[in-house]
Homo-oligomer: A and B are copies of this chain.
Amino acid sequence: MAGIELSRRGLCGFSLAALTVSAEARARGLSRGNVEQWGIAEVELKGPRTGNPFLDVSLSADFSQNGRVVTVAGFYDGDGIYRLRFSPPATGIWHYVTKSNVAGLNERDGRFDIRPAAKTNHGPVGVANQFHFAYADGTPYRQIGTTSYAWTYQDDGVCTATLKTLDAAPFNKLRMAIFPNGSVRFEGPYPFAGTPGHFDLDRFDPIFFRRFETYIGALLNRGIEADIILFHPYDGDKFGFDNLPAAVDEHYLRYVVARLAAYRNVWWSMANEYDVMKHKTEADFDRFFKIVQNADPYGRLRSIHHLYKFYDNNKPWVTHASIQSPSVAKDDERASLLRDIWRKPVILDEVQYEGTCPYRWGRLSGEEMVSRFWAGTIAGVYVGHGEYIEDEKHFMWVGTGGVLHGTSAPRLAFLRQILEQGPKQGVNPIDKWYDHHLAGAPGAYYLRYFGKDAPPSWDFVLPQDGLNDGMRFTVEVLDTWNMTVTKVPGVFVAKRKNQYDFADANGRAVPLPNKPWIALRITKA
């Protein structure tokens, strides 16, 4: 089994034997005393261990530079240790001073001298150009997501296998839950202290979170955003984490934000399938959004995932729409409607799963999964992958992580490469209401996707926006399944055809290979 084979390798390339505290710290992306921009500057303080430090002790710190102040909440990490984590948004000297209701933790001060980010550190991802994403340094981020809800609840061997799979996969975002599924076989630790049926909801379990952070850091080191699912409806009455009292929900959210927000790869997903959480109302999720928004000093990306009932993604605390739909990504115009309605980036986080599931939501062919990514691309939105192929030990990627058995991932790597070679501002639908199935940057760059259709040729006709007579274009045929790029000989020259469109001056059409899953890339010469 993959997990056993791979357990000889430790996390992040360290051998398991060498996985000491310092290696773990490195794996978590922490760096003491020599912190880079968008890294994590951590202040560790000793304080009371009696009573209930999780409830009794308040701790925060103001980190400041030239009048700019970032206030971060501290958290209790067990054993009398308190931590404050700060992700510096700028280089240079940052001073800090703490506030606490405990004398020994109050008015502690110090400074960090933040060095420039390493070449591979582009900062956190944020919204860019209204519908797209970019890292803080301006580098575009083209989301190719995947989901593995409970991968951190597997044993170290499986987790290591998951990370190795990710090393070879195209994914730059992973959706993952903090709370366990009711069907999980893992026996703790859990986010709260205790065991099923005997949780102490006033105490968190730092051991759980230290391990969880290790994996957030491992994703960070791989350039993978961690889309952290804060609540979900899969508790199955086993743990009760879907039915916590309101004050515990808030305490949990604040603790999670205090621990994790400093990781620059963290995104917040309020819930998976929020609308089937029987103990929570939509107003509860509004509240959760506001708690997280207020607590997180960095404004990490925030979304919520649904089953039947779309959340109102126009609400101001939603940074992007996170969509589940079996049908939206079958048609670029369906998907682009969502963008137009919410005027924000849209990620189709769940478009069904590639696999062999007995249920119809997990039976996509690899071809169909890849096609949904391409349709989303033409719609100017982003898409997420999931795989439901159960092995003999009941591991499956979307639930447990491990290894991928499907066929879509390499083709998604091809798509990612195409997108990363595309225009910096992102790909937007072009003249979308008229069945062109074109996206790009008018006058400069176009993608045309044919899906299942296999026409023998495509008339070189482009909507007029950005075009003038005489503009010259090269055309490449992209076989999105076989991952080939074939240049069409010669250039195509734009000439006005009618009041809406330009065609090739010589009336040329683009010959196509009579196969499905073909796209064209048309670039100004």
Contacts and interface: CB of A to CB of B under 8 A. Distances in A.
Contacts of A337: 328, 334, 337-338
A341 interface: yes
A334 to B, nearest CB: 5
A308 B314 CA distance: 17
A327 interface: yes
A289 B116 CA distance: 51
A433 B308 CA distance: 11
Residue in A310, A325, A432, A433 with the greatest tally of chain B CB atoms within 10 Å: A433
Interface in A467-512: 499-500
A200 interface: no
B434 A326 contact: yes
B328 A331 contact: no
Query: Main secondary structure on chain A at its contact with chain B?
Result: loop
A325 B360 contact: no
A5 interface: no
A334 B310 CA distance: 14
Given A327-B333, A331-B333, A333-B327, A310 B340 contact: yes
Contact of A312 (B314, B325, B334, B434): B314
B360 A327 contact: no
A433 B326 contact: yes
A130 to B, nearest CB: 12
Interface in A326-363: 326-328, 331, 333-334, 337-338, 340-341, 343, 358-360
Nearest to A306: B340
Number of copies: 2
Contacts of A360: 434, 500
Contacts of A328: 337
A333 B327 CA distance: 8
Residue in A333, A341, A499, A500 with the greatest tally of chain B CB atoms within 10 Å: A341
A334 B330 CA distance: 11
Interface string A179-219: 00000000000000000000000000000000000000000
A179 B100 CA distance: 64
A91 B430 CA distance: 57
A212 B95 CA distance: 70
Interface in A226-272: none
Contact of A341 (B327, B341, B435, B500): B341
A328 B341 CA distance: 13
Interface in A383-406: none
29 contacts: A308-B340, A309-B340, A309-B343, A310-B340, A310-B341, A312-B314, A314-B314, A325-B433, A326-B433, A326-B434, A327-B333, A327-B432, A327-B433, A327-B434, A327-B435, A328-B337, A331-B331, A331-B333, A331-B334, A334-B334, A334-B337, A337-B337, A337-B338, A338-B341, A341-B341, A358-B499, A359-B499, A360-B434, A360-B500
A-B CB proximity, top 9 nearest: A326-B433, A327-B433, A310-B341, A312-B314, A334-B334, A327-B333, A310-B340, A314-B314, A341-B341
Given A331-B334, A333-B334, A360-B500, 18 more contacts: A309-B340, A309-B343, A310-B340, A310-B341, A312-B314, A314-B314, A325-B433, A326-B434, A327-B433, A327-B434, A327-B435, A328-B337, A331-B331, A331-B333, A334-B334, A337-B337, A337-B338, A360-B434
